[in-house]
A and B are shown apart, each in its own frame.
Chain A
Amino acid sequence: MNPIWLALACAHTPQEPMINLTEPPAVAAAPDYVPPIPTEHTLSNGVRVWIVEKPGLPLVSLRLVIPGGSASDPTEAWGTASLSDELLSSGAGTRNATEFASEVERLALSLGSSTQASFSTVYLDAHTDRLTDGLALMADMILRPTFSGEDVDRAKTLRLGELAEASDDARTLAGWVMDKKYFGEQHPFGHPTEGTLKAVEALTAENLKASWKARYVPDHATIVVSGAVETTALLAQLETTLSSWAKAGVEAKTVPAPPLHTGEDRFYMVNKEGTSQTALQIIMPAPTGLDAASESAELGSIILGGTFTSRLNRLLREEKGYTYGARATYVGKPGYGYLLARTNVQKDVSAPALKDLIAELERYQGGIDKVELGKAIGSWQTSAVSSMESRSAIAGNFASVAAQGLPSSTLRDELDRAQEASIQSVNDAITASQLDNAVYVVVGDLAEIQEAVEAAVPVKWTVVDPLAN
């Protein structure tokens, strides 16, 4: 059957109009969507509380964000904050590690911590019937962790195992080298959040406890809650549960911007024997998160590598077949911003793939078109809607906003600004990301790829050991 203007509907319901099967239907205007803004409150100890009530399912998600993160690690003691955070749920209050886990799991809570470069998060996902119990356990974590020698030793052993396992992955190695070389070894972001083998080995219970004590103060903390809660009752509950958490009078810290890379020392290779693919990563400066061009930079990155039909994926996957996927990510935070392009390609095309990747980044400097801009804005809008589906996503998204010290209206404001972006504003943001200032990392089986890569991109390449120190 070759269906051309087939009057399908006539066969079933004669009153229906004909429908065109050979051409896509017209698309009506997209529905409006306005992201919510949390209500803002402050506990008596100064902790900010943002609440997004979401009735329906009897679920509640809470995120407590604490500034610091792995950027607060003392020099050479990399991994301190992360391991310290990990230990908060390994024995707290009157319970040892197993007793604490038993209670958390008996109540079917998701309660734990995670560490990012600039902040830590304590997360609690609970059935509303168990929120009170969950809050009590969370309070034990942040106010009364035990840091017993036995728990610290076990946590270190497990972390060393995780680091060994992570180092088996070429993509992880590429990320470690990228952080070290782009931000600089002494920069707060210049080391893996999880630490290094040598640093973790040397950590002590005293280090870890001191890190917790210094960071877990209410002064700059924010609690974000989303779910089937009633605001007044929840605030009273938080007030009671955290009443003994006293202000410490510490100042908020800022992270310095990474250096601008202008010299020849921007090209690095890592040997990973036996890999069938090569990891290619290129990172370059971009507008900061507070810059007016931030949303335009984000839109640009979506066009470059944020969707399936983005430029990088289309070229390297759908035209060349070099890879399973290629992506670009813009990260804009207060004080710094960068654009990261990355892909993993089969090793025998490492050199041409790197050349194509560089050429596409150069073409990106030439600007975008109207169709691409519309697609990027549409993608942003769709993400804005779906990111408000689940309670945990809502809490997580606003926690990320709060952790950067941004206002509670940020998600709505950013969407508004994205919708107002123009080709010119995106092109201006793109020109802030120059390949001349980019850092390149290639991880693969150097015995098989190094010569070809060096011939294809004839610059001063330096082979580095990501596990050194």
Chain B
Amino acid sequence: MLPAILVATMTAQAIEIPHDQYQLDNGLNVILHHDDSLPQVVVNLWYGVGSKDEEAGRSGFAHLFEHLMFMGTVNLPDSGFDERMEAYGGWNNAWTSPDATDYYEAGPSNLLQTFLWMESDRMRDLARAMTQEKLDLQRDVVRNERRQSVEDTPYGIIWEAMSPALYPADHPYGHTVIGTHEDLQAATVDDVVRFFNTWYVPNNASLVIAGDFDAEQARKWVLQYFGEIPKVELPSRANPPERDTPQEAVVETTDNVQIPLTMITWHTPPALMDGDAAFDVVASILGEGRSSRLYADLVTDTGEALEISAWQYSQKLGSVFAVSGKPAGETTVEALEEKLQAHVTRLANDGPTEAELERVRNQLEVDFIGGLEGLHQRASALNRYHYLAGNPAYVNQDLERYRALTADDIKAAAATLTKERGCILRVRSSDGGAK
């Protein structure tokens, strides 16, 4: 067979994840990616609903609902979804983001039919088996997830603290995926049923089958299991409210940590849109690796920071660019912020060097190729590009966005960050430590 990803030379990588794409009459998008190098199969079912679609007072609900998807149906009650899958060597998981919810199963290739039956069964009929007991149980689990990942993880609160400053209260991204205890406790079984009937419909989903399987047989199973699930008209989504400009908030908060942290964020273009790739490169030049500008200056040379980072968090409705650092020694968070801002300004004024562009291009290419090495990663990428670009084959051309960037593009992107001081978050020790 041909390798799943074909790569030519380093100077002009030709990446291809071969796949077939089609739609059922009910709108379910289907993507088949064959790779028989190992006797395994992955099913990835992506629903176009995330925390951005939650109603007021129900923050965390999309993620809570994700948990409820594993609580059984009439046909496969209680913990049957996981029990049956694991009985034959399969495993599964899911994640929820502001934009989407993604479910995936992996296991030996003989489990494909089982995976498809299970996913179609809960897409068709989850609501009929929903109970208050299930909701209460998973509410407790999710609240413990919140305690573990937000409240008891050092700096776990940063996005919860930052979101109100970044977005208007009624913005789809104005709250975190995990939600608040209060909102989680307010969720009802009626909410669950309504959410399911609204969003968990075939025309809001995309199914990837990847791995060692017979394509003709897979198409039959997909049609048989999913084909009669009815299409439902999706609600129209209002445009998100405009944010305040210029955006120059300072948020002070505390956490159970010894070392303070500062983070500066700016709004940037949506995922895959013009400018998005340039900010990935800006982030890399500023903060990726020990030779990056922030690390070389603030950690290695001056010792003013213990840690720095920069990243572009790409999202469907609009992205966020961030730089952050933890001050060392007598350096204050305010002083560190000035240094971080100064580096952004310098990049905006002078642009990147050729050496920096070479480094970033090389790193992006290797990271991109390496990131598609696993079957699960490829399945997820196909669905992600289908969701964001409307075309899974975009995975084959995405690197071109980066290859086409010039020094002037990077300079221009950095320059937009200097027009506002951004939203600043300062996390200090709840023990009242200095700095």
Q: Which residues of A contact B (CB under 8 A)?
A: 1, 3, 6, 8-9, 11-13, 16, 19, 21-25, 27-33, 55-59, 97-98, 101-102, 104-108, 125-127, 129-130, 154, 157-158, 161-162, 164-165, 167-170, 273-277, 307-309, 314, 317-319, 321-324, 344-346, 371, 374-375, 377-379, 381-382, 385-386, 388-392
Which of B117, B144, B359, B362 lies in contact with A345, CB distance below 8 A?
A: B144
Given A102-B355, A161-B307, 15 more pairs with CB closer than 8 A: A9-B224, A19-B225, A21-B121, A23-B75, A59-B370, A101-B289, A105-B290, A169-B152, A275-B152, A309-B83, A318-B141, A321-B141, A344-B144, A378-B108, A389-B38
Which residues of B lie under 8 Å from residue A31 when comparing CB positions?
Answer: 39, 108-110, 212
Q: Are B108 and A381 in contact (CB-based, < 8 A)?
A: yes
Which of A16, A274, A389 lies in contact with B374, CB distance below 8 A?
A: A389
Nearest-Cβ distance from residue A204 to partner chain B, whole angstroms: 18
> Interface-forming stretch among B296-304, B315-323, B391-399, B405-413?
B296-304
Q: Are B144 and A324 in contact (CB-based, < 8 A)?
A: yes
Which of A16, A59, A98, A277 lies in contact with B296, CB distance below 8 A?
A: A98
Q: What's the Cα separation between A75 and B83 when bound, in Å?
A: 48
The verdict on A59 contacting B373 (CB below 8 Å), with A158-B306, A276-B151 known, is yes
Would you mind naming 18 contact pairs between A and B with Cβ atoms under 8 Å apart? Answer: A12-B227, A16-B224, A22-B75, A30-B108, A55-B3, A101-B296, A127-B366, A129-B10, A158-B306, A161-B307, A168-B257, A169-B154, A321-B141, A323-B144, A323-B148, A375-B87, A378-B86, A390-B370
Q: Are B259 and A27 in contact (CB-based, < 8 A)?
A: no
Q: What's the Cα separation between A432 and B80 when bound, in Å?
A: 32
Which residues of A lie under 8 Å from residue B75 when comparing CB positions?
Answer: 21-24
Nearest-Cβ distance from residue B222 to partner chain A, whole angstroms: 11
Nearest-Cβ distance from residue B62 to partner chain A, whole angstroms: 17
Which residues of A lie under 8 Å from residue B88 when comparing CB positions?
Answer: 27, 30, 378
**B250 contacts A by Cβ under 8 Å:** no
Q: What's the Cα separation between A323 and B227 when bound, in Å?
A: 38
- Which of chain B's residues has its CB closest to A308's CB? B82
Nearest-Cβ distance from residue B380 to partner chain A, whole angstroms: 14
Interface residues of B in 338-395 (CB under 8 A from A): 355, 358-359, 362-363, 365-367, 369-370, 373-375
Q: Are B289 and A105 in contact (CB-based, < 8 A)?
A: yes
Which residues of B lie under 8 Å from residue A309 when comparing CB positions?
Answer: 79, 82-83, 86
Q: Are B300 and A3 in contact (CB-based, < 8 A)?
A: no
Q: What's the Cα separation between A30 and B288 when bound, in Å?
A: 43
Q: Which residues of B contact A (CB under 8 A)?
A: 3-5, 7, 10, 37-40, 75-76, 79, 82-84, 86-92, 106-111, 113-114, 117-118, 120-121, 124, 136-141, 143-145, 147-149, 151-154, 212, 220, 223-225, 227-228, 230, 256-259, 288-292, 295-296, 299-301, 303, 306-307, 326, 328-329, 355, 358-359, 362-363, 365-367, 369-370, 373-375, 430
Which residues of B lie under 8 Å from residue A32 when comparing CB positions?
Answer: 39
Q: What's the Cα separation between A321 and B373 when bound, in Å?
A: 36
Q: What's the Cα separation between A162 and B328 when bound, in Å?
A: 11
Q: Are B110 and A30 in contact (CB-based, < 8 A)?
A: yes
Which residues of B lie under 8 Å from residue A105 when comparing CB positions?
Answer: 288-292, 359, 363
Which residues of A lie under 8 Å from residue B223 when comparing CB positions?
Answer: 8-9, 12
Q: Are B90 and A274 in contact (CB-based, < 8 A)?
A: no
Q: Are B373 and A391 in contact (CB-based, < 8 A)?
A: yes
Q: Are B306 and A108 in contact (CB-based, < 8 A)?
A: no
- Which of chain A's residues has its CB closest to B113's CB? A25
Max count, chain A CB within 10 A of own CB: residue among B106, B291, B359: B291
Max count, chain B CB within 10 A of own CB: residue among A32, A104, A309: A309
Give the 7 A-B CB pairs with smallest separation, nearest first. Answer: A378-B89, A321-B140, A101-B290, A31-B39, A108-B362, A56-B3, A161-B306
Max count, chain B CB within 10 A of own CB: residue among A30, A33, A277: A30
Which residues of A lie under 8 Å from residue B113 when comparing CB positions?
Answer: 25, 27
Nearest-Cβ distance from residue A381 to partner chain B, whole angstroms: 5
Which residues of B lie under 8 Å from residue A3 when comparing CB positions?
Answer: 124, 228
